[in-house]
Amino acid sequence: MTTMNTSKLIHKNTILLLAIFLVGVIVAVVYINAAFEEETNSRHTAAPATTKTVSYHS
């Protein structure tokens, strides 16, 4: 009986740890992606955005 309970507990903890790990990975990926996009935007939008709008208007 006790072995069944401990194995269930271990299984629950493993699922919990996996869930926490997955959430952490997702948050990290989103954060890195946002930071990277922000970096590329600040670097690139200044010139191409103005040239694009100018070409569209003309």
pLDDT for residue 35: 87
pTM of the model: 0.50
The span from the CA of 43 to the CA of 50, in Å, is: 13
Q: How many domains does the chain have?
A: 1
Q: Which two tokens stand for residue 48?
A: 């191409």
pLDDT for residue 31: 93
Provide the residue range defining the domain that includes 6: 2-57
Average pLDDT of adjacent 10-residue blocks, the chain of 58 residues: 77 93 97 85 58 54
